[in-house]
Structure 1
Amino acid sequence: MLTRDTTHTLTDQLVARFAERIRSRLLPAGTRLPSVRACAVQQGVSPHTVVAAYDVLQAQGLIESRRQRGFYVRDYVEKSVKATANKAQDAIKNKTLKDAVSLSLPAASARINATSLIRGMMHKATHPQPGAGMLPADWLQNQFLQSALRKVVGLEELRTMSWGYGVPMGDEMLRGLLADRLKTLGLPVIADQVMTTVGATQGLDIVSRTLLKAGDAVMVEEPGWSVEFARLAALGMQVLPVPRGADGPDLATMRRYCETHAPKLYVSVSVLHNPTSYSLRPASAHHILQLAKEFGFYVVEDDTYSHIAPEHATRLSVLDGLRRTIYISGFAKILAPNWRVGYMAAPPDMVDRMLDTKLLSTLTSPAIMERAMALCIENGQLRRHIERVRNRLVQARKHSVQLAQQAGCQFVTEPAGMFGWVDTGMDTEVLAQRMLDENYLIAPGTLFYASRQPSTLMRINYACTQDATFWHTYQRVRAEFP
């Protein structure tokens, strides 16, 4: 809480607190700040102090006052783009072509609310964060990764490879093992259809840059991964949100989009969808593939959570046999987030185009990390590690559900996978600000909607919500609001 001392006034402390969160994007553009009265109660200060702090933040260009609506965080990225645009227009009017060229306009930036979630994931804290998108570090730590890396570094083949760019498609040994892994899921592929990527996120980017051009329409599930909304918007795509339910996406909405906008792509997390943890039902998958064939769009299946999901779960790529589908996955969620080892499997006639896009972005992928990952798979150590994590997650999920329900939260989806989708009964964007005061980062529901609509929902990470202290804090803060 704010302290009363002679060094810094309460106003200065309050300004510093909000300014740091805005500049670090933990409070993203468009966030509504608490009303003057509510902020005064929350921070234990007078309304006069809050008014003075908000005035300073406005003077710094960090927030803006909207008549009869309150105070909102400004999009200073957008402000910068507009300023550059104005300078360029002035240069053109003055017929100074050289200046106009030097002030070439950047692409319209995606809303930074998506990056706020990423920054939250990477925010260093002394305790687990309920809004985290990864498993805790102590769940992932092991000895076999280091052993595999030491072994790989000693191989003459890999030492030689380090002085070149390596194999463009990715480590051959790893791709062979990944092809075998996909066969166990029911997806018959050969190693030449598998390409490694710098994490699953790059796989999604490769697909977009290969199949789409600016202005194309893309269907994306909502609620969904806000980074995907922002990434597509940054590429100039028209994002079409499709409501995601327990069975799968809203098929009627998909058909309307197909008839009206002719989308080129549909992005789906079929298994353990983020944030709801829904898994696709066979009947829904069948209808999606029928729509894809009828209207000619491709489906990119993001199977990021494949290692903690049942192998028999319905996957679009398996039903389709990689005709109109592209499969993407990786190891960040289960083993080594910072190694950024991902992979994709595509139709044979599309592989070369995908490889060209990869070459233009990263040239190749880290061979040493990929070969070390291959050794972990080959000797069975990864499989045993996955079993341990799965068992631990089952127990954590049971405990977290119990604590959440005791704290008054209601699960709006059946608990499964890594994440819980819970209803708090209040605007979770407001709740997130107060929880930051308590050093807890939560993932408010608004981050998972393309339109950034207010939401009473929040996503919790089962592995990071085992401490009753968090839930006691949540209850105390929640009680401050009507």
Structure 2
Amino acid sequence: MPTGTHPPLQRDASQPLAGQLAERYAQRIRERLLLPGARLPSVRDCARQHGVSPHTVVAAYDQLQAAGLLEARRQRGFFVREQRPVASAARSARPATAMPRQAPVDATALIRGMFEADAARSPGLGTLPADWLDPTLLQSALRRLHSGQEQALQTSYGDPSGDERLRVALSQRLADLGIHASPAQILTTNGATHALDLLIRTQLQPGDAVLVDDPGWAIIFARLTQAGIRLLPVPRSAQGPNLDVLSALAREHAPRAYLTVSVLHNPTGHSIDLATAHKLLRLADEHDFSIVEDDSYGFLAPEHLPRLAALDGLRRVVYVSGFSKVLTPAWRVGYLAAAPERLAALTDTKLLDGLTSSPVMERAVALCLEQGRLRRHAQRLRERLDQARQRVATLAARQGFQWAAPPDGLFGWLDVGVDTERLAQPLLDAGWLTAPGALFSATRCPGALMRVNMATSQDPAFWRQLRACVDDIRGA
């Protein structure tokens, strides 16, 4: 009998089982639920999952290879091939049969899955669930924007550098973190990811080498790779980057920059300690590279945690943050703070990219900061996350799982003891979207680690299902 919740193949249908199985995978490939480079289950695993013989699976994979959808790699398995564009008429003739979702195989697939997912059943989610946010805070700010002098914001492009009132409020926010930046040193963006993109396109060239956290955020890996940048992965521990590896890479490759998350690192939840931060800044001086500090989860962290930008005084460090994680993903408001000599080129790139960012949304965020309501909301989130982490830690321990290090912030880095890429599909078949560790590896290295969202992993049913799937894989 098949395991998991795969819809069963029809044994009494006119189409042979191998043909049904081949069409199932072909449909997933055509709908880009399986992307080029994705590895299909082994013949043995596929046979067990669908309740068929290995001979049937081999026949199905042969059909997919004959159709140019798969390629066999010696001693590695079967992988989805890169497809050439096909005529629109041919695409429209394909059946529109709904197929089961496929576990994420890269950054794009993970994000697509997150957009489609039910947060209550998404331990791999990268954001807080909607019911943790404060819609009344947003509604109050928007109501004020529709009255009095604020109405003028709705009929202008706004300042290319960003709403001045927001930049003043951000200057105060940064001062609370020990980062001294005047409003003139701040550039607003359409979210933190946009800020990182501006930095990549302004300060880097194809062929440049850039240091990155490993594990790290898959979106950054994808953006850098698309820009022709060479990635230099630096192993990440609970204290911060492995400085011995970083120093060796810097000597050999002369990197232009290091992109890192120093506080509440994604995916591990770790934060850099003060000693490591000081040594890292000395290495940046020694090897002449800049540092881009992504503090997207900063509102969920205690203010006393060290920021590289505070220690460096924005000399080599460019600080990036945003509000989507604590306000709402719908408000794409982010910003960067940098030395004055960097700002002109970054502002020009922003102008060419989309003229300006939204003055209405930026003023609304300014109101949230000025009134102190955002600070109070962030404090409530931190308290709620503390409670969630305790509950999740208890649930994980009850099922015999351990963390790579004590979790903090929104994420934990869980060791499940088996390949989490192999684990992701049966969990998704059972209704749980997870984030396997290979998605956060610059080299797509498989392993037994997975990112767990503390806010969306509090259902005991998930942990029971995780235990069952791990035991099933070990017993296969």
Range with bigger deviation, 272-281 or 52-61: 52-61
2:70 aligned with 1:63: yes
2:319 is the alignment partner of 1:312:
no
Amino acid at match of 1:71: F
Q: Is the 8 A contact 2:195 2:336 kept in 1?
A: yes
Aligned mates of 2:232, 2:338 — CA distance in 1: 23
What are the within-5 Å matches in structure 2 for residues 70-469 of structure 1?
A: 70-76=77-83, 113-125=106-118, 127-158=120-151, 160-469=152-461
Displacement of 1:233 in angstroms is 0.9
Cα distance change, pair 306–325 in 1 and its aligned pair in 2 (3 A): same
**In 1, Cα distance between equivalents of 2:24 and 2:404:** 33
Name the counterpart of 1:2: 7
**In 2, Cα distance between the equivalents of 1:197 and 1:307?**
18
* Structure 1 range deviating more: 227-236 or 65-74: 65-74
Secondary structure of the corresponding residue to residue 313 of structure 1:
coil
Query: Are 2:47 and 1:44 equivalent residues in the alignment?
Result: no
* C-alpha separation in 2, matches of 1:27 and 1:424: 24
Paired position in structure 1 for 2:97? none
Q: What is the aligned residue count?
A: 450
> 1:339 aligns to what SS in structure 2?
coil
What's the offset of the Cα at 1:370?
1.0
The Cα shift of 1:307 comes to: 0.4
Q: Deviations over 1:254-277 (max 9, x none)?
A: 222222211111111000111111
Matched residue SS, 2:318: strand
Alignment gaps of 5+ in structure 1: 82-110
CA distance in 2: counterparts of 1:126 and 1:454, whole angstroms: 25
Taking a change above 3 Å as real, the CA distance of residues 121 and 439 of structure 1, as seen in their structure-2 partners, is same
- What does residue 98 of structure 2 align with? none
Q: Could you state the TM-score of these two structures normalised by the residue count of structure 1?
A: 0.88
**Which whole-Å CA distance do the structure 2 matches of 1:60 and 1:274 have between them?**
39
Check whether the contact 1:131–1:461 (CA below 8 A) recurs between aligned residues. Answer: yes
Contact 1:128–1:136 at 8 Å: present in 2 too? Answer: no
> Aligned letter for 2:49?
Q
Mapped partners of 2:451, 2:35: distance in 1: 17
Q: How far did 1:45 drift?
A: 2.9
Mapped partners of 2:119, 2:235: distance in 1: 36
Identity %: 52
The alpha-carbon deviation at position 211 of structure 1 amounts to: 1.2
Cα pair 1:301 1:326 within 8 Å, conserved: yes
| Cα RMSD (Å) | 2.2
Measure how far apart 1:25 and its partner are. 4.7
| CA shift digits 1:425-473 (9 cap, x unpaired) | 1111111122121122111111111111111111111111111111122
Counterpart for residue 468 of structure 2: 476
Q: 3-state DSSP class of the match of 1:243?
A: strand
User: Using CA pairs below 8 Å that are at least 6 residues apart, which structure has the higher relative contact order?
Assistant: 2
Q: Select between 25-34 and 274-283 the one with higher mean Cα deviation.
A: 25-34
Moved more, 60-69 or 137-146: 60-69
Determine if contact 2:257/2:289 at 8 Å carries over to the other structure.
yes
Q: Quick one: structure 1 residues 473 and 12, their matched pair in 2 at CA, closer, same or farther if it must change by over 3 Å?
A: farther
Relative to 1, partners in 2 of residues 1:13 and 1:416: Cα closer, same or farther, differing over 3 Å?
Answer: farther
Distance 1:269 1:23, change over 3 A: farther
Secondary structure, aligned partner of 2:198: helix
Match of 1:96 in 2: none
In 2, are the aligned partners of 1:2 and 1:14 still within 8 Å (CA)?
no
Residue 266 of structure 1 aligns to a residue whose secondary structure is strand
314-323 vs 383-392, which deviates more?
383-392
- Contact 1:435 1:477 survives alignment (8 Å): yes
Contact 2:191 2:322 in 1 (8 A): yes
CA distance in 1, matches of 2:301, 2:28: 35
Distance in 2, matches of 1:112 and 1:129, equals 16
Aligned to 1:89: none
Deviation at 1:21, TM superposition (A): 4.4
Residue 389 of structure 2 aligns to a residue whose secondary structure is helix
Q: Specify the SS of the correspondent of 2:334.
A: strand
Distance 1:463 1:11 in 2: 41
**Partners of 2:327 and 2:119 in 1: CA distance:** 21
**1:134 maps to amino acid:** T
**Offset at 1:48?**
4.1
Deviation, structure 1 residue 52: 4.0
What is the CA-CA distance between 1:200 and the residue it aligns to?
0.4
Distance across 2 between alignment mates of 1:24 and 1:151: 44
The letter for the 2-side match of 1:235 is A
For the 8 Å contact 1:303–1:329, the answer to whether it is kept is yes
Flag the 1:36–1:376 CA change in 2: closer, same or farther, 3 A: same
Mapped partners of 2:430, 2:81: distance in 1 = 24
Report the equivalent of 1:54: 61
Alpha-carbon distance in structure 2 between the residues aligned to 1:154 and 1:22: 51
Distance apart, 1:328 and its partner CA: 0.3
Gaps of 5+ in 2: 1-5, 87-103
**1:172: Cα distance to partner?**
1.1
- The letter of the residue matching 2:156 is G
